[in-house]
Structure 1
Amino acid sequence: MKKFCTLGLMLLIVFAGALPASAKRGTYTFKITHEEYADTVPDKYAKEFARRVTEKSDGRIKFEIFQVGQLGVGVDLVEHLLTGSTQMAIVSPGNVSTIVPEGQMFALHFLLPSSVEKAYEFLDKSQVVKKDLAGAYAEKSLRLMDLWPLGASDWLSDKKIMGPADFKGLPFRTMDTPLIIKNYEAYNANPTPVSYTDVYSALQLNMVDGVENPLGALVDMKWYEVQKYLIMSNHIMYLEGVFMNDRFFKSLPKDLQKILTETVAEMRDYAYDLQKEANEKAAEVLAKHTERVDLTPEQHEAFRKAALPVRDYYKKALSKRCAAMLEKLEKELAEFE
């Protein structure tokens, strides 16, 4: 990991401030990567963002959009952004966690409001997000343009999961993020990192017997075809971060910086509507193909209590700044609720 970070920072210094060749002609070509396939929420977001910015800039900014797998997956997309080979990425903070561990706090179960609408409202107001976390990313030359929920994550499994005890020994697919793995260790599961594009086959071959994601993603990836139960856990909000290479952003003319910043702000309502529609349609599909399990308030509380020690782990095992940032976020949440 140290080797990756060192290499990333070295390449960042060499390339991150460089402009695409088109910039010499007064135009800029942005390469945007995201972690989903065509016509998913991140893909539609990227296309609409590109359309608006190209129009507002009178064609001075143009875009090339790359879906998951075309330039890599997960951490690959972050590395490309760091080196300056891409200029923008729409990825989960979990995929940036090896570089900015503070972002892992959003992987903690039952932390943010379980309502997507409330989570949007909170994240839009949070000073921890807008100042503290954005500052941590900026130190690594990553500009956090926005952070919004793709939806509430639920569990899809071949096992009917009603309480923490049902996770015991269960091989459960996770991202390769330390805190996400810790969450499932707290339930005594067997967390198993699997690349996003390999999850279907892993479920089909019983390498793993469960997966988490918002409803839209569960349908987009067709994982419901090889799993039986949909457990409505709402245990985390799956967040999408809109990132740019900060050195590249600062090298742009001020008027183009303004267009990019203002367009991202305008896109928040669009992003909310996109995920709402996608998750509602996905719920209809899942209802036809899986058995839905609605947890009672008491069952939700049992999971929440089982997950609480992971917050202590986060505060103790990571840096003092990580602990302080989480405590500040918890205070904001208490005031918000």
Structure 2
Amino acid sequence: MFIHRHIKQIAAMSCVAATLGFSTLANADTWRYAHEEYEGDVQDVYAHKFKDYIEEHSDHNLKIYRFGELGESDDIMEQTQAGILQFVNQSPGFTGSLIPEAQIFFIPYLMPTDMKAVINFFKTSKAVNNNFPALYEEQGLELLKMYPEGEMVMTVDEPITSPEELKGKKIRVMTNPLLSSTYEAFGATPTPLPWGEVYGALQTNMIQGQENPIFWIESGGLYEVSPNLIFTHHGWFTTASMANKKFFDGLSDEDQEMVRQAAEYAFSETMKHITGLAEKSLAKIKQSSDDVTVTRLSAEQIAKFKERAPQVEKTFIEMTGSDGQKLLDQFKADLKAAQQ
């Protein structure tokens, strides 16, 4: 069964490579970059800024593939690890199955919700910039940049203000064990689903809710089938750009430095883009639908969710052991410094 599935995966990737004329040569003139979002979304903005820098500072070209063009998140990661793609952008929500420590971003109420503090954290964090690259390298990936996209917002089939009101509700989560643990702690029934199935599952009441940044709720039209927005302030959606490690190591020193500078430039430009984006997206949602409700939890209501967070932190340590504890300690120290 496993062998049959493995052969099918190899055949599928070979088909993609043949169809698109992919080359795995490090000196290829055209490099290929796939991400998880639609045209104009945050990952697409980052990819195009990355592309702009590379094409301005070298003879290389960058071809960008958006969500669905080469499959789902798991597909583009497999293609990157196989060397079919040179670059990929994927959130720890999916990468967590490869790198358990990356699930740290899904411990609720660990990250602040103040945008300036969040951006400063990603710029200065030792955990993000020093610890994570080695973890990604073990999976054949060169981590270029981790960056935030937006505060996570829950959408549900009815307004809720407490964990008790989530009881019995199936909430879609990414294929991430710790995110499942979060929604179990919140009182819901976590239901892993690939993104392509979420809209239909909400529409048919197969699930009763999901979480995403506001811009993605607007872009994907999720508010049309899940119109009750709940601001719980429990975390930020984080993502990462990376390269195939063999490809990156095969580049000249000059090209490696150029790629790193492209990632820094894309980060800086994307942080400008997300400033005010949530407010603009929410305004579009309200303008598009009279059915939308917005519930912003009070400090007292948030406390009811927050008191359940230690359960998830404990699960993270159980998953990752002493190394995970050290990473969490560094993470907390970095967050404290970033907020000062």
1:21 deviates by 4.5
Summarize the Cα distance change of 1:146–1:169 in structure 2 as closer, same or farther, 3 Å threshold. same
Residue aligning to 2:94 = 95
Residue aligning to 2:103 = 104
Residue aligning to 2:300 = 298
1:36 matched to 2:37: yes
Letter in 1 for 2:217: L
Distance across 2 between alignment mates of 1:336 and 1:37: 31
**Contact residue 54 and residue 62 of structure 2 kept, 8 A:** no
1:320 deviates by 2.3
Distance across 2 between alignment mates of 1:198 and 1:22: 32
1:79 deviates by 1.3
1:170 matched to 2:169: yes
1:213 matched to 2:217: no
Letter in 1 for 2:141: L
**Contact residue 41 and residue 278 of structure 1 kept, 8 A:** no
1:48 deviates by 2.4
Residue aligning to 2:112 = 113
Distance across 2 between alignment mates of 1:204 and 1:27: 44
Residue aligning to 1:313 = 315
Distance across 2 between alignment mates of 1:320 and 1:203: 39
**Contact residue 141 and residue 245 of structure 2 kept, 8 A:** yes
Q: Write out per-residue CA displacement over residues 61-118 of structure 1, whole angstroms, 9 at most, x where no aligned residue.
A: 1111111111111222211111111011111012111211110100111111112221
Letter in 2 for 1:207: M
1:279 deviates by 2.2
Distance across 2 between alignment mates of 1:154 and 1:148: 18
Residue aligning to 2:19 = none
Residue aligning to 1:331 = 333
- Which of structure 1's runs of 4+ aligned residues deviate more than 4 A? 20-24
Letter in 1 for 2:52: R
Letter in 1 for 2:272: D
Summarize the Cα distance change of 1:141–1:263 in structure 2 as closer, same or farther, 3 Å threshold. same
Distance across 1 between alignment mates of 2:46 and 2:251: 22
Distance across 2 between alignment mates of 1:161 and 1:131: 39
1:27 deviates by 4.5
1:316 deviates by 2.0
1:277 deviates by 4.6
What does 1:18-29 align with in structure 2 at a 5 Å threshold? 21=23, 27-29=28-30
**Contact residue 116 and residue 237 of structure 1 kept, 8 A:** no
Q: Write out per-residue CA displacement over residues 267-310 of structure 1, whole angstroms, 9 at most, x where no aligned residue.
A: 22211122235323211023333111111011112111112211
Residue aligning to 1:136 = 135
Distance across 1 between alignment mates of 2:88 and 2:45: 13
Residue aligning to 2:193 = 194
The secondary structure found in structure 2 opposite 1:279 is helix
1:323 deviates by 2.3
Letter in 1 for 2:192: P
* TM, length-normalised to structure 1: 0.90
**Contact residue 142 and residue 243 of structure 2 kept, 8 A:** yes
Distance across 1 between alignment mates of 2:152 and 2:29: 36
Residue aligning to 2:67 = 68
Residue aligning to 2:160 = 161
Letter in 2 for 1:326: L
Letter in 2 for 1:270: E
**Contact residue 124 and residue 338 of structure 2 kept, 8 A:** no
Summarize the Cα distance change of 1:320–1:28 in structure 2 as closer, same or farther, 3 Å threshold. farther
1:47 matched to 2:48: yes
Distance across 2 between alignment mates of 1:128 and 1:80: 27
Distance across 1 between alignment mates of 2:134 and 2:143: 9
Structure 2, gaps ≥5 residues long: 11-21
**Contact residue 24 and residue 83 of structure 2 kept, 8 A:** no
Summarize the Cα distance change of 1:105–1:3 in structure 2 as closer, same or farther, 3 Å threshold. farther
RMSD after superposition: 2.2
Q: Which moved more, 1:147-156 or 1:66-75?
A: 66-75
**Contact residue 117 and residue 338 of structure 2 kept, 8 A:** no
Letter in 2 for 1:309: Q
Residue aligning to 1:14 = none
Summarize the Cα distance change of 1:234–1:210 in structure 2 as closer, same or farther, 3 Å threshold. same
Q: Write out per-residue CA displacement over residues 140-188 of structure 1, whole angstroms, 9 at most, x where no aligned residue.
A: 2211111111100111111212011111111111101100101001122
**Contact residue 314 and residue 322 of structure 1 kept, 8 A:** yes
Q: Which moved more, 1:284-293 or 1:199-208?
A: 284-293
Distance across 2 between alignment mates of 1:218 and 1:228: 10
Distance across 1 between alignment mates of 2:204 and 2:337: 46
Residue aligning to 1:222 = 221
Letter in 2 for 1:41: V
Summarize the Cα distance change of 1:226–1:168 in structure 2 as closer, same or farther, 3 Å threshold. same
